[in-house]
Structure 1
Amino acid sequence: MTPPPHGLPGHLVDFVGALRRHQVPVGPGETVDAAAVLGAVNLLHREQLREGLAAAVLRRSGQRAVFDTLFDLYFPAAQGRGQSDVEVPWTPDGEVDLDALRDILADLLRDGDDAALRELARAVVDALGAASGPGQGGPNGPRNWSTYQVLRQVSPETLLAGILADLMGDNENAFVEEITRREIRQRIAEFRRMVTEEVRRRTAETRGRDQVAKTAVPKQAEQVEFLSAYADQLAQLRRTVHPLARRLASRLAVRRKHAKRGQMDLRRTLRRSMSTGGVPMRPAFRTRRPGRPELVVFCDVSGSVAGFSHFTLLLVQALREQFSKVRVFAFVERADEVTHLFAPGNDLASVMTRVLREAELVTFDGHSDYGGSLASLVEHWPDAVGPRSSLLILGDGRTNYRDPNLAVLRRLIGQARHSHWLNPEPRKQWGSGDSAALRYAELMPMHECRTVAQLADVVETLLPV
């Protein structure tokens, strides 16, 4: 890795720029604080530098994973192979002795020596992680490093039983055995993480930090797209529901405070002006009497958008005190009311499972039928949407080439006080294939809600003032 052209200050500016590109807002003040950290801490103590810079530039929760990944890329623990007191064993034929290597790894995992494990990870990546071939290594191009190649040959998971037997000995206590098993699994997972970080560091040296950062830096929870999120990301999103709801409620309180006065009362203003010669020195305003509207949520819970619907329903549940009444209708091929499942005290973590198990949503093949679902809503709950209701529809608008039933939707919109549609698909995909989103958008406002950040912005504008 070449030294930064403008020394350490220029390197810090590059690091701050990378944070900004990955949606971590770092202003000039935070940058000055970070520069002060560089002058105050011992740069040889890398973890002190990490914590000092994190304290200087991070202002919100959920940004630490992005910061740590970029810190490892811009302030790496070593250059090239680095120094390591742990050596990889070799056979007389010049091949890595995998059996002896696994014995060394088993000893370190049993002892819990993190420092030695990190040195072994560095040595193992150097010995096993490099791929060769045209365009990948040697004179034909930069070297390619592979986490999969290392872990496939070392197979640290296969060492669990042997390490557990050594640690337990003659002890047959089931509780102690389970605790020990979990501790070993945690150490193995930590070793895998060390290998991944080392491969990322070596790749950044050959292919550039920016190239690696495009795929290696995790997205913040607020930037994860609902339709592409995997299980761990969805679990993280669910943990952000209540903090997000509190933030939106506090913003709403500020808006209400600034909107206490209604429109000008012309009659009272003119009456007051009589005492000042007809000059309206003291304008009078009508008293605002805001009412909390009823909310009717109509959500698609089919597999394609289930994650988005689940998160949005949890957010609505957390904000239900902002509305006088909340009714929730789920649908796939037909609609069914599931308001009782979102009652206070219910286990909201598994609410979507209960919706799919207990509600009557499928009549034929289990694919979304927006037209049929809208028709069943009007047929079985004709009074669900009224003049005090705000209608909120959640879904991608993909009808599987069935009738979108625009007439029924137009009727519901006419009955409601407000109506909005939240769509988790990118706007450029609306109307493609079996999507009727553009046709629905002609009847009611449709908002793109691919991420938590977009959803928060939309929900904040929809909350009653």
Structure 2
Amino acid sequence: MRFVADFIGALREAGLPVSPAESLDALKAIQLLGLDSRETCKNVLALTLVKRQDDQEIYEELFDLYFTGVEKAKEADQGDSEPSEDLLAAQKDAGNGDDSAANASSALGQALIQKEDMSLAIAQAAVAEKLSTIVLFTQKNHFAYKIMQRLGDEALSAEIHGVTNSPEPKNSPDPKQKKLQRELIKSRARLLDQVKDYVEQQHQIFAQHKGQKYREDFLQQAKLSQLDRLDYKLMQTLVRRAARKLAAQHSRRRLTRKRGQLDVRKTIAANAAFDGALFHTRWKATRVERPKVVAICDVSGSVSRVARFLLLFLYSLQDVMPKVRSFVFASDMVEVTELFKQQEIELALEEIMKRWGGLSTDYAKALSGFQSQALASIDKKTTVIMLGDARNNQGDGRVDIWEQVFRKSKRVLWLNPEQRNSWDSGDSIMSEYLPWCSSAEPCRNLKDIERIFSRILKYS
């Protein structure tokens, strides 16, 4: 059942949610059916291990890799069922003379001469050497060497090279010993090929998705301002995934909160016909307001990269945060709410960065524009999110306008893509805005964005 256990481990590494109960069901099914029928195995394991349609492709890819390895092992066993001519000759000569001269002295050599199936031994050695931890292709030779050593290759190699424990070394091996040596060399080469094939198979199964997972973990914590454009596509996938997860959690929380408190009077009235037995409950409905959000994003310089993913995350929360007005600025304040409605989010972001991104920053001009366009619509149900580094090229920051935003809104969050110890350094005027922020904190990676929006939804 090592096949099924390793297979389940690979599925989990690839992101499939396989529970312990489902693992036991799969093991029991294979114990009953065996591994003889490829299609039967594939269908039965799919029924027990795959719950989402999106996971079917990954399941089929990994199953084919695993089952190919099993079939190769069977073919190798069948192909090697007949002894070679050299071995037959060595065994015949051994039967007519000194048995010890033609018999291998090492345990691995004896197993190879007797044509024992090495598949299970290789798998067990791979488990002992933790082959499932393989990530890099450069590790393949290392693991092949370690597995061969665990199988007993050191003693076999010594035997092949004529190193024995005999107190009287032989200067010229007899013909029988020569034949045995040739057979051991061929058998060892076949075993090494089998081990390398097994390592290659395991690398394809484990390393591909594990490497992807490591890459995803790295990007979730990487500074957004330092991301390469080559990472944008994967990063967009991660942003959407995190937003969907957060939206699902908040949706469940909102359903629970909508129920409200028990309405005792209505519950008693509803159960009057049942002699006081509480068959039906009545609840005081609690209205949960979806938050009104105004997002203002500085798209100048390196801040533009953080703004890209913040806006993508924000618009991926449309199921739980639909009332969103978005503004971007370097110097002029521009509302882009309609642009997001008219175009796909990725296309809209590309246009925004092309038209307004990377220009010189002027907070005074930008906040003056915001005052004329949106200040009147802000009320005590509005959460205002500002993304910016507060670097204003030594100009006036129009803090008076930001004070008005703070006094009119429900709360104001300032997200700064720089570390706190960089605030107020150089041309940063962050301390001037801080008194008029409900909270201000660094926002440097995807984990930060996810944590911040989780809090926004929790207390909305």
Question: Structure 2 length normalisation: TM-score?
Answer: 0.48
Greater share of helix:
2
